[in-house]
Chains A and B, each alone.
Chain A
Amino acid sequence: MSRNRSSRHTQQWKDTAIPRRPLLWLAAALLFTLPPLFGNLASWVAWLFLLALALKFWMEPRGYRLRSNVLKLILAAVTVGAIFLSYGTLKGIEPSVSLLAVLVSLKILEAHTAREFQVMVMMAWVLCLCGFLLSQDFAFALCLFVAFTLLIAALVQFHRGSSPNAFWLPLASTLKLLAQAAPVVVLLFLLFPRINTGFPLRIGDLRSAVTGFSDRLSPGSILALANSPDIAFRAEFPDRRTGPVGPMYWRGLVMWHCEGMEWRAPYAPASISDSSQRNPASDKTIRQRITIAAHAARWMFALDRPVERPSSAMLARGNYLYSFQPIRKTRRYEVLSSTDPIGRQLNVHDRREALQLPASISPAVRELAASLAAPDSEPRVTVNNALQYFRTQGFSYSLTPGEYKKNDLEEFLLHRRTGFCGHYAASFATLMRLAGIPARVVVGYLGGEYNDLGGFFLVHQADAHAWCEVWIPENGWTRIDPTIVVAPGRASQDLSSFLAGRVASGEMATGRSSFLTQLARLAFVSQIRSLWEALNFQWDTRVMGFDADVQDVLLTSLGLTNSGPLMLVIQVLIVIAALLIIYAGWMQIRTRPRVDRVKELYERFCRKAAQLGAQREPWEGPADFAQRAGRLLPNESERIRQISTTYIALRYSPQPAGVFHDTFAKEVSAFAARR
């Protein structure tokens, strides 16, 4: 009885070792799926994953197995509990992906037959999918692509068995497969209809954290961006090779509401029609194609100042772009800007708003404003006086000016006199309003890093900037940047290199490691960086930018939308099938055994003889067959004898003469004709 049971158990547990090499490939692939997970999941999940992999490699050669069902259940329960504790919920994308990663870890530990290898590969593919849901960054995409390749290599190695070949040969087969698959991928990616099913898997809202500006300019808001390495947007100039002459001011949003040191943009800006603004002379306009990173707000950027809006945005009062929808994923748009100053006249409503002031302005500041105002109320003079005040009265530029608390405007203008662009723009605009000149604050970016390889400008969050616009009657809204009066270098470089230059010249103390700064300045490092940025840009524009809407445009321009999605699917599949047939034919031709012309001809002769009634037996030599066939077909005996002699000569004589081939072929043909 007991013997019976134990034998049944061994039957049930009959396990086969998972071959080592495929497991190695799989482990490598899984390691590459990890980076996106590490950044986005509770860190213990990734560590558990690594631990499971390591344990498996320790267990497998020793034949250890995780067999106890109770233990498996306990492990599963503990990990699910841990996920719940980490996130407080099991719903949502992160807990779900964590759950999946944990299940993969447990599966790796538990797997005990070679058959389960396939299951592990499938799970790894789902992990790749999760990686893309968590992050669509180019660096992570690259990791996941490597993981994808390694997974295929693992499968190839698994089915290849134990060939005594070099370790990397499966990778060669894999790359060949991928190369052949590439046209199919391109075809599917471009043409396969993307039907938006609107399934309830809303992850996008959750994932896109708000980055960039808020609609409020307070002294701290730009500081938060100055240290950010993130990219705000990339800009190309399709009509010219390089950017505009002079500093590039990228207009973001315009703030009308003044609270002293704090400024605010309208919550729901009014739209202005762009036709009324269309005045640009063509030599002063510049077309830009901008790829903006997701930032969950609605600002869109353009060179100061946009005159033609893209279809996805409106021109808001103050001449800035305001998207109809929050920008939750990378978006690409074209916009036309003009370098001309804006506006011919200021309407009453705008003038009132551009002169609005908070009630709580200290008398000292009012006094200062009055002293700066020109007696004949000539705005240009007042502006110059104010700039002169900043230039000469010991103001300095610093990213760490300390906190301004009570009565910040007075504290900044009259006592401490140190700050960065936010302080200067806000205080300058307030001073102008106090002096009776309509003024507003513009927030955006200044500068941009040119990428040689990609031919585009890269604008980082750290390039964030704030400046002012004042109304000068004969000129319209005129840009005044008080910051460059204080820090003249800032206009020609982006913020980080400006700061780096200051650190190098000893003007500023820094907490950063100077090694890194020096490394970043090496020529080849910056080349690699610019290559990386160019690739990044291609990924964002060519791949991430190609969504259902862009595809629609492409399909329409190709004239493929008339027949409906089903027809399109069928057409795509037909093209792919044709491609596969071409591949198959090509591989078949390359591997087919070389044809033996003489043998073929002789076989043709034999077939004909068989039709006439003389069937050659498999064991019969040509000479024997010729004799027998000659007897069976007396009319043909002469030709049969001749064919056989020629055949024997061609096959077995050491150097058959070339002329034989032709006569042989003729003889065989003649043999048919005589019938």
Chain B
Amino acid sequence: VKAGKFPLLYPTASFVGLLFVLTAMWYAASSQNSPAVYLLLFGLSAVFLVSIPHTLLNLADVTIAPESAKPAFAGEEVSVPVEIMNCSRTTRRGIELVLPRSGGEHKHVDYIPAGKAARVTVRFPAGQRGEHSVGTFRLTSIYPLGFVRVLKKITSSQTYLVYPKPSGDPRLPMDPARSPHSRPQTELGEGDDFAGVRAYVPGESQRHIDWRAVARGQPLMTKQFAAEAEGSVHLDFSALRFPGIEERLSQLALWVIEAERVRRPYGLRLPDTNIAPDFGEAHFHRCLRALSLFRSEQA
């Protein structure tokens, strides 16, 4: 996390309104030579001027710490939890956090007591697969009067992963090692022997969610069924016949999800990476990460 050295200060839209009011007051005061109207004019100007240091210092010793974002599949939503920390010795009010890449949505925090932190979650649609940097946060505030805005740009080195969008044929390939060019035929993973539940992984088909458990207030769980075929499956990039790289990656991602769901050991073979068959959450993310970071020139 790296903050710009000086916060920026610029007028807001209501400053234009203020200017209009001040001009009207000045016009009336000078044409009437009226001390009372001058007093009003100077009162409003002075309050405005004094509010500037208040706004400017409203972000002093306020900093942010983006937490690690969970990987998302392309087309879904990335959510980056951000902790806004108030290290100063006074309550900070009216703080807004904007992540420009999220489409300018303002996250408003009403107040943060001294030495405390507030958590906001910035959400935005996941774009292309790959590893992306969260980018620059804009921490702003217009408290107390709203005539000027103070802006602190904070660049974060935080990154997030976008997995390829899973799509294609959900049936796992039968024995890709033996017949690399055959289309998968055997339907697996849809066996009827219920084998228990495990945590839902984003991107999985919703058909297997244990909705009854959800209704009981439990977290999302996926029902697992004992697969008919127990042997490990090799998911091979070069065995796929699609022309486009992205399509192939999408198919592989779908298979990874399906294989993980039925808890069948699966290995992944990319042009420069080879992941031995296994299953489990760590393995699952390792495979998807490899797919996500797959570079076109590798093919």
A interface residues with partner B (beta carbon < 8 Å):
118-119, 122, 125-126, 128-129, 132-133, 136, 141, 144, 148, 152, 155-156, 158-163, 173, 177-178, 180-182, 184-185, 188-189, 192, 194-204, 543-548, 576, 580-581, 583-584, 587-588, 590-594
Nearest CB of chain A from residue B173's CB, rounded to whole Å: 42
Interface residues on B, range: 35 or more
Nearest CB of chain B from residue A262's CB, rounded to whole Å: 38
Q: Do B30 and A199 touch across chains, with their CB atoms under 8 A apart? A: yes
User: A194-B33, A201-B27, A201-B28 in contact; A158/B61 too (CB < 8 A)?
Assistant: no
Interface residues of B in 27-80 (CB under 8 A from A): 27-40, 42-47, 49-54, 56-57, 60-61
Q: Do B36 and A580 touch across chains, with their CB atoms under 8 A apart? A: no
The CA of A156 and the CA of B54, in the complex, are separated in Å by 12
Selected from B30, B34, B61, B88, the residue in CB contact (under 8 A) with A132 is: B34
Is there a chain A Cβ closer than 8 Å to B24's Cβ?
A: yes
Inter-chain pairs besides A129-B40, A148-B44, A591-B60, 10 sampled, C-beta below 8 Å: A119-B17, A122-B14, A158-B146, A161-B93, A161-B108, A161-B110, A178-B47, A547-B35, A584-B56, A593-B89
| Chain A at the B interface: SS class | helix
B30 nearest in chain A by CB position: A197
Specify which chain A residues have a CB less than 8 angstroms from the CB of B13 in the assembled complex.
118
User: A160-B93, A197-B30 in contact; A591/B39 too (CB < 8 A)?
Assistant: no
The CA of A572 and the CA of B108, in the complex, are separated in Å by 37
B interface residues with partner A (beta carbon < 8 Å):
13-14, 17-18, 20-21, 24-25, 27-40, 42-47, 49-54, 56-57, 60-61, 87-90, 93-94, 108, 110-111, 114-115, 142-146
Selected from B56, B110, B114, B146, the residue in CB contact (under 8 A) with A118 is: B146
The CA of A576 and the CA of B89, in the complex, are separated in Å by 27
Selected from B20, B31, B35, B51, the residue in CB contact (under 8 A) with A200 is: B31
Q: Do B50 and A580 touch across chains, with their CB atoms under 8 A apart? A: yes
The CA of A649 and the CA of B187, in the complex, are separated in Å by 65
Nearest CB of chain B from residue A278's CB, rounded to whole Å: 34
Q: Do A199 and B27 touch across chains, with their CB atoms under 8 A apart? A: yes
Specify which chain B residues have a CB less than 8 angstroms from the CB of A548 in the assembled complex.
33
Specify which chain B residues have a CB less than 8 angstroms from the CB of A204 in the assembled complex.
32
Listed A/B pairs (14) with beta-carbon separation below 8 Å: A118-B17, A132-B36, A132-B40, A133-B34, A160-B93, A197-B31, A202-B31, A547-B35, A548-B33, A576-B49, A581-B53, A588-B60, A591-B90, A593-B61
Specify which chain A residues have a CB less than 8 angstroms from the CB of B93 in the assembled complex.
159-161, 163
Specify which chain B residues have a CB less than 8 angstroms from the CB of A160 in the assembled complex.
93-94, 110-111, 143-144
Q: Do B110 and A180 touch across chains, with their CB atoms under 8 A apart? A: no
Specify which chain A residues have a CB less than 8 angstroms from the CB of B53 in the assembled complex.
580-581, 583-584, 587
Q: Do A125 and B44 touch across chains, with their CB atoms under 8 A apart? A: yes
The CA of A161 and the CA of B31, in the complex, are separated in Å by 40
Selected from B36, B49, B87, the residue in CB contact (under 8 A) with A136 is: B36
The CA of A163 and the CA of B88, in the complex, are separated in Å by 18
The CA of A204 and the CA of B94, in the complex, are separated in Å by 44
Q: Do B89 and A156 touch across chains, with their CB atoms under 8 A apart? A: no
The CA of A128 and the CA of B60, in the complex, are separated in Å by 35
Specify which chain B residues have a CB less than 8 angstroms from the CB of A583 in the assembled complex.
50, 53
